[in-house]
Amino acid sequence: MAPVQYTSSKEGFTNSNIQFNTDKAVSADDALLTKFTYENSIVEKDPSTGRLSVTPTAIDYQFKVDLKVPKVGLLLVGLGGNNGSTLVSSILANKHNISFENKEGVVKPNYYGSVTQSSTIKLGIDKETGNDVYAPFNSVVPLVNPNDLIVGGWDINGLSLDAAMQRAKVLDIDLQKKLTPYLKEYKPLPSVYYPDFIALNQKDRADNIINKTESGEIRTDNKWADVEKIRKDIRDFKESNKLDKVIVLWTANTERYADVIDGVNDNVDNLLASIKNNHDEIAPSTIFAVASILEKVPYINGSPQNTFVPGVIALAEKEGSFIGGDDFKSGQTKLKSVLAQFLVDAGIRPVSIASYNHLGNNDGYNLSAPKQFRSKEISKQSVVDDIIKSNEILYNKEKGDKIDHCIVIKYLPAVGDSKVAMDEYYSELMLGGHNKISIHNVCEDSLLATPLIIDLVVIAEFLQRVNYKRADEGDDKYQDFYAVLSLLSYWLKAPLSRPGFEPINGLNKQRQALENLLRLLVGLPINNELRFEERLV
């Protein structure tokens, strides 16, 4: 797709795809300037009576979008894993238009599964018919084309990506053969390996690591040196590829949860001191996060461990560097974030959700260890938390009502990358009735996760180009978004939110926030479904 170009006119402004007839936005000097009134309602509750007082509010903002799309590099932690090798393969197949044959015929390359590349956004209604009109998601504002991403990264295993692709067994053999000449050029940088944080069954893969002595021993006694080495890798990657921006994303093994300890990782000073003192609760993912933040590059956590301990979040705030996480939301959990919301919104009371998975890739092998499984269990269970809190009729907070939510994950090598998920939703209906929904879902894990990585990177980069200021405060200086990119929540199981705010897990709410951001930036009203054109006489 050609880059989106913008020109102003008296009627509004035009990009290469769409003319926007609005007085809310204008393009000038490679920037889009927009006025937007943010309307909401503030609710106060009388503690003695429980009576609610609701007051509408309106705040005027001005937004500025840098329209110039930069040259972007992506550094993956876990480059040689199933997700990493599949991501690079997908970019190369699309960039070089590599078609291949499988048992169903010729398959052309595409980015199916990616919101930014393969979904649409509602613009408005047709002037003649009143029916909805849609446009490609990436046609509204200028976004990075995944084909243009320069990809590199680290891995504890040193296989080149052609061999890693073959080991992963994700892609059809004809496509593997066509990609092999390209993938031979990709070899992961040495990564950080602290054995206590991932399953012992990963030890044999760890042959490409930074923190190894000449005698072959794994050292964990100079963690600050590991931070500095990762920082240097980021700078070298940016310089050697002449990049404008770099984004770092963790798609490596799930780590165990790190203990959050006062005086260790609870604030910036303690966190940095603990790294320099080689504390046992400093994980490899923390090393990568801190290095990225100090280099002012966004860091996204695609695994369920608690990389973003309070000290890491505070460091991102201090440095003004973006972070986002946790854990890719691809198959079973994405469906759960829709189905559980549907049941509760319908006034039906889910009382239990039983989720069973078995998978045969290396992610499943690592998750067969109890501590690593616990990290995944936490991220998968949390997806219904805000849904429960949204309905005090069904779930009495004072009584501690909740959904009995059971997660089981088993490693079964035979199924490979095709994760099998089975769910049972057991709910209460009126007058003692019950409803049971059973779902069997087979997910080709890496082919679902890879487009999520693309979307996370594309949107994270775009959010770096969006600034705002409050029109009523008389400040001419534009500001960046807050360090925690909660707008990435659509793609994440356990979305990270600003301290003090509860995360939003409902998929429809997350998608609506993304669409409305794009709409307001081009001067359109935020979306609604009142459809007065149809409903009023």
pTM summary value: 0.93
pLDDT tens for each residue of 125-166: 999 999 999 999 999 999 999 999 999 999 999 999 999 999
CATH architecture assignment, domain 72-113+142-325: 3-Layer(aba) Sandwich (3.40)
pLDDT bin (cut points 50, 70, 90) of residue 2 is: low
Q: Are 86 and 447 in contact (CB under 8 A)?
A: yes
Determine phi and psi for 372, rounding to 5 degrees.
Answer: -75, -35
- Domains of the chain by residue range: 6-68+448-488+495-533, 72-113+142-325, 332-446
DSSP H/E element including 250:
strand 245-250
Q: Which of 178, 238, 245, 493 is catalytic?
A: 493
CA pair distance 385, 406, nearest whole angstrom: 14
Lowest average pLDDT, out of 1-10, 12-21, 102-111, 255-264, goes to 1-10
CA pair distance 12, 21, nearest whole angstrom: 5
Q: Is 327 a catalytic residue?
A: yes
**Fold topology of 332-446:** Dihydrodipicolinate Reductase; domain 2 (3.30.360)
Q: Whose CA is closest to 379, among 286, 301, 436, 289?
A: 301
pLDDT bin (cut points 50, 70, 90) of residue 7 is: low
Q: Whose CA is closest to 34, among 12, 55, 4, 16?
A: 12
Angle in degrees, CA 350, 354, 358, rounded to 5: 150
Per-residue pLDDT at 3 exceeds 60: no
What is the DSSP secondary-structure string of 513-528? HHHHHHHHHTTPPPP-
Q: Are 190 and 213 in contact (CB under 8 A)?
A: no
CA pair distance 283, 287, nearest whole angstrom: 7
pLDDT bin (cut points 50, 70, 90) of residue 46 is: very high
Per-residue pLDDT at 375 exceeds 90: no
Q: Which of 162, 226, 327, 455 is catalytic?
A: 327
Identity of residue 160: S
The pLDDT value recorded for residue 215 is: 82
Cα 300 to the chain's mean position, in Å?
Answer: 7
Q: Is 155 a catalytic residue?
A: no
Tell me the mean pLDDT in the region 168-194: 96
Tell me the mean pLDDT in the region 436-440: 94
Q: Which of 178, 187, 380, 419 is catalytic?
A: 419
SS3 353: strand
The pLDDT value recorded for residue 317 is: 97
Q: How many CA atoms lie within 13 A of 313 on its CB side?
A: 19
Give long-range contacts, CB 8 A cutoff, 24+ apart: 50-55: none
Within 10 angstroms of residue 482's Cβ, the number of other Cβ atoms is 14
CA pair distance 143, 160, nearest whole angstrom: 30
pLDDT bin (cut points 50, 70, 90) of residue 12 is: low
CA pair distance 335, 404, nearest whole angstrom: 18
Q: Do the domains at 6-68+448-488+495-533 and 332-446 have one common CATH topology?
A: no
Identity of residue 25: A
* Average pLDDT of the chain, as a whole number: 92
- CATH class, range 6-68+448-488+495-533: alpha beta
The pLDDT value recorded for residue 498 is: 92
Q: Are 451 and 113 in contact (CB under 8 A)?
A: yes
Determine phi and psi for 62, rounding to 5 degrees.
Answer: -125, 130
Q: Is 376 a catalytic residue?
A: yes
Q: Whose CA is closest to 333, among 441, 438, 412?
A: 441
CA pair distance 255, 299, nearest whole angstrom: 16
Tell me the mean pLDDT in the region 415-423: 89
Q: Are 58 and 38 in contact (CB under 8 A)?
A: yes
Q: Is 232 a catalytic residue?
A: no
Q: Which of 223, 336, 376, 380 is catalytic?
A: 376
Within 10 angstroms of residue 44's Cβ, the number of other Cβ atoms is 10
Q: Are 346 and 303 in contact (CB under 8 A)?
A: no
Q: Are 50 and 128 in contact (CB under 8 A)?
A: no
